[in-house]
A = this chain, B = another copy of it.
Amino acid sequence: MEIHEPELREVPVTVVLAALADDVRLQIVRTLAEGGEYACGTFEFGVSKATRSHHLRVLREAGLTRTRVAGTSRYVRLRREEIDRLYPGLLDAVLSRAAPAVTS
């Protein structure tokens, strides 16, 4: 299957920002920012797998992640270098802000 993975530089800035403007996707990005690859199933943030698949697609089509197919699994990783090159400071700024409180 063909995976649609645009170049970050070709994605409108509003699309990039919108991709990051969601709690579930931000949690995914936080995990990805630890570095390395993660199977989709890693991201258990209280949504169904259909929803998770949707969010991963939004991130991918925003040019923020890259996906490698291996067997029945797909491994996702953050395109850190490109993001930092095109949007220096963006990721750090966003991730340094406290995660939304789960309790309280």
A residues near B (Cβ < 8 Å) are: 12-15, 17-18, 20-23, 26, 86-90, 92-94, 97, 100
Top 3 A-B residue pairs of the complex, sorted by shortest distance between their CB atoms:
A89-B89, A17-B21, A18-B21
Please give the distance in Å from A102's CB to the nearest CB on chain B. 13
Sample of 16 further A-B pairs with CB below 8 A, known A13-B26, A88-B89: A12-B23, A13-B97, A14-B21, A14-B26, A14-B100, A17-B18, A17-B94, A21-B21, A87-B93, A87-B94, A88-B93, A89-B90, A89-B93, A90-B90, A90-B93, A90-B94
Please give the distance in Å from A93's CB to the nearest CB on chain B. 4
Give CA–CA (A94, B87) in the complex, Å: 7
